[in-house]
Amino acid sequence: MTDTDDQVRLIRDSAAAIATPGDLSRVRGLRFTAPGYDPAVVARMGAMGWLSMRVPEAAGGAGMGMAELAALAEALGRGLVPEPLVPIAAIAMPLLAEGGRAAEFAAGNRIALPALVERANRFDPSDIATVAEGNRLTGHKRFVVGGMGADAFVVNARSAEKISVWLVEAGAAGLTRRADETVDGGAFASLDLDKVEATPLIEDARIPLARAMDEAAIATSAELLGVADRAMAVTLDYLRTREQFGRKIGSFQALQHRAADLAIQLALARASIGAAVAALDGGAQGSRRAAAASQANARASHAALLVTRTAIQLHGGIGYTEEADIGLYLKRAMVLAASFGSAQLHRRRYASSAPAEDLS
C-alpha cells in the first residue's frame, strides 16, 4: 500500500465526522436558509487541514494530491454536505497561496470563495469582461458557489493584456451581492463591482486559473459520483424491502435490468475520474489536463443525473414527495452538474483538447 493509499483511507475515515449519509437532518435544516451552509463546519474543515490540502507544503499547506481531494469530495457528496469545500480547496486556496495570502484563510474562520464566472455555462476564466484599473475592479460575477457566506472573494479581471487575480473583501465599498436560490436549497451569489478596491494576488494568472478550474471540475466529478453512488445504494435497499403483488420489487427482472444499467454508468464515471486524477497527479498539463478534466466531468454529470432521476422513478410515487430523501440527491446532482459547466460544454471541450489517438 502506498502513502497515497494511506492518506486516501485516512481522509475517507475523517470525512465521517461531517458526512453522515444515513442522517440528512442537518442537510434538511440548512436548506433555504442563509447562506445555505454552516460556517462553523467550514472552520472544522479548516482545522482538519482540508481547505489547504492542495496548497504546497512550502506555502503552509498539506501538499496533497488530486487523489486525496477527489476521495474527500466523493465522501462529502455521499452525505450531501452543503459546505463549499471544492471551490475553496481546489480554486481559492491555491490562488491565495500563489499571492501569499493563504495563511489567513487556512483555518476556515474567514471564508474566501472564487468569483470567476460572468455568464451561464462558461468554464474559461479568461472569458471575462471585468476590468482592473489600478487597484479597483469594475464588472459582474455570477454563480459564486456559497458566496452569500463569504468574507472575501478571489476575483479575476482584465489588467492591461493580462488576466489577473485579486482579493476583494465582502464588505468593500462598491461591492453588492444578491442571492440566487438553487433547487437543492442552497444559493449562488451574484456580485456587482463598481470601482471596488482590491488587493493584487497574481499579476498574470491564466495558467494558475486554468489549472485550478480543471482541478475543481475533477473534484466536482468525484462529488457527483458520491451523490450518485449513495442514491444508488438507497434505491437498491428500497428495492430489497418494498413489496408489491406479494413480492419484493427488487425481484422483478425489468427493475433488475434498470439497476444493472445504472451500475454500469457509475462504473464508467468512476473509471473516468480515476484516470483524470492519475493524469493530474502524474503531472499532466495544458490540453491533456483539460481533456482529462472534461472527460471526467461530462461522464460524472451524465451518470449522476441519470442515476438520481431513475432512482426517484424506482421509488415510485413516494420518491416525488418532499419527505423522501432520494429527491435531495437529484436536486444536489442538478446543482453540481451545472457548477463548472454542463456535460455538453465539457464534451465539446474534450473534443477540442484530447489528442487524436484518444478520439478514435
Same structural domain, 337 and 245: yes
**4 or 104, which is more confident:** 104
Look up residue 250 and give its three cell numbers: 427488487
Quick one: which H or E segment has residue 145?
strand 136-145
Same structural domain, 104 and 117: no
Instruction: Tell me: pLDDT of 359 over 50.
Output: no
Residue 65 near residue 74 (C-beta atoms within 8 A): no
Same structural domain, 354 and 280: yes
Q: Model's pTM, two decimal places?
A: 0.94
Same structural domain, 353 and 290: yes
Per-residue model confidence (pLDDT) at position 146: 96
How much is the mean pLDDT over the chain? 93
pLDDT tens across 267-308, in order? 999 999 999 999 999 999 999 999 999 999 999 999 999 999
Look up residue 204 and give its three cell numbers: 498574470
Same structural domain, 216 and 170: no
**End residue of a domain, out of 157, 184, 204:** 204
Distance CA 74, CA 71 (A): 5
* Mean pLDDT for the stretch of residues 350-356: 82
pLDDT tens across 126-141, in order? 999 999 999 999 999 9
Q: 137: closest CA among 165, 178, 114? A: 165
Same structural domain, 105 and 150: no
Indicate the SS3 state at residue 277: helix
Domain count, the chain: 3
Same structural domain, 276 and 221: yes
**144 or 355, which is more confident:** 144
CATH number of the domain within which 194 lies: 2.40.110.10
* Exposure on the CB side of residue 152, measured as CA atoms within 13 A: 23
Instruction: Tell me: pLDDT of 255 over 90.
Output: no
* Mean pLDDT for the stretch of residues 250-262: 76
Owning domain of residue 180: 113-204
Same structural domain, 291 and 352: yes
Instruction: Tell me: pLDDT of 259 over 70.
Output: yes
Window from 25-29, 121-125, 305-309 with minimum mean pLDDT: 121-125
Same structural domain, 148 and 16: no
**End residue of a domain, out of 109, 137, 154:** 109
Same structural domain, 236 and 347: yes
CATH number of the domain within which 39 lies: 1.10.540.10
**End residue of a domain, out of 46, 76, 109:** 109
